[in-house]
Amino acid sequence: MFTGLIQTLGKIKPVGRNSWQITCVGDNSKLMMTDLAYGDSVAVDGVCLTVEKKLDNGFIATISPETLQKTTLGQALTSNQYVNLETSLRVNSKVGGHFVMGHVDGIGQMISVIQTATSWEMEFVAPDAIARYIVPKGSIAVNGISLTVAEYDQELCKFKIAVIPTTYTDTNLQYLTYGSWVNLEGDILGKYVERFLNVGKSTIPFKGNDSKNDIDSSFLNEHGYL
């Protein structure tokens, strides 16, 4: 589990069959490497990978063909691309962003970026698989970055975010151009809400409420939520 607060930038390249080398290049790379160990989880552009070998300034990880196909990491086959890096959340750490699982829901595309006096307004289009979890003022992970949805067009599956200068310069958002592909992960809370609301439509009975599977105001009141 991660928070979506990027620690440093890295570069990724293939070094063998399903093996990839991630090299830290950001200003805070030394701080991240000091605490990194074999077996740790690291979010690489929002994709959870396992450290299989620690290097002087990076690590080696295995990326499955399915992950390469379903995320933007496959683009590193032809380019030494910049990636956002974040180590996993510790129990006693602050959650400055939101809970990011490192499980990409789909690939989106940036369709516009406008620099204003105080931020960069960036607009993306999202696939249906993730669009249903997007809500105005809600959270979304773009390339592993915890961001707030400023506007959302449900009909066109488009959302806009306002990126402050610190986030822009400390992440690979600064390298995105029109048409760039990004990894998207919806808020895990929205997924659980959707699951619970669909319990009554499932063929699997909801334990403790066999007579009525629907979750409504009466059910929530009975169980102390209202």
Q: What is the pLDDT of residues 54-96, one digit of tens each?
A: 999 999 999 999 999 999 998 877 677 899 999 998 877 777 7
Say which residues have a Cβ less than 8 Å from residue 225's Cβ, sequence separation at least 6.
none
Please check the confidence at residue 208 and state whether its pLDDT lies above 60.
Answer: no
Q: What is the pLDDT of residues 105-146, one digit of tens each?
A: 999 999 999 999 999 999 999 998 889 899 999 999 999 999
User: Measured on CA atoms in the order 142, 108, 148, 185, is the torsion positive or negative?
Assistant: negative
Domains of the chain: 8-87 (2.40.30.20), 106-188 (2.40.30.20), 191-222 (no CATH)
Please check the confidence at residue 219 and state whether its pLDDT lies above 90.
Answer: no
- Mean pLDDT score of the chain, rounded to an integer? 88
pLDDT of residue 209: 47
pLDDT of residue 79: 72
Please check the confidence at residue 200 and state whether its pLDDT lies above 70.
Answer: no
Give the Å distances, CA to CA, from 73 to 49, 68, 105, 129. Answer: 11, 6, 14, 19
**Range of weakest confidence among 93-102, 148-157, 198-207:** 198-207
Full-model pTM: 0.84
Q: Which of 114, 136, 109 is nearest to 125 (CA)?
A: 109
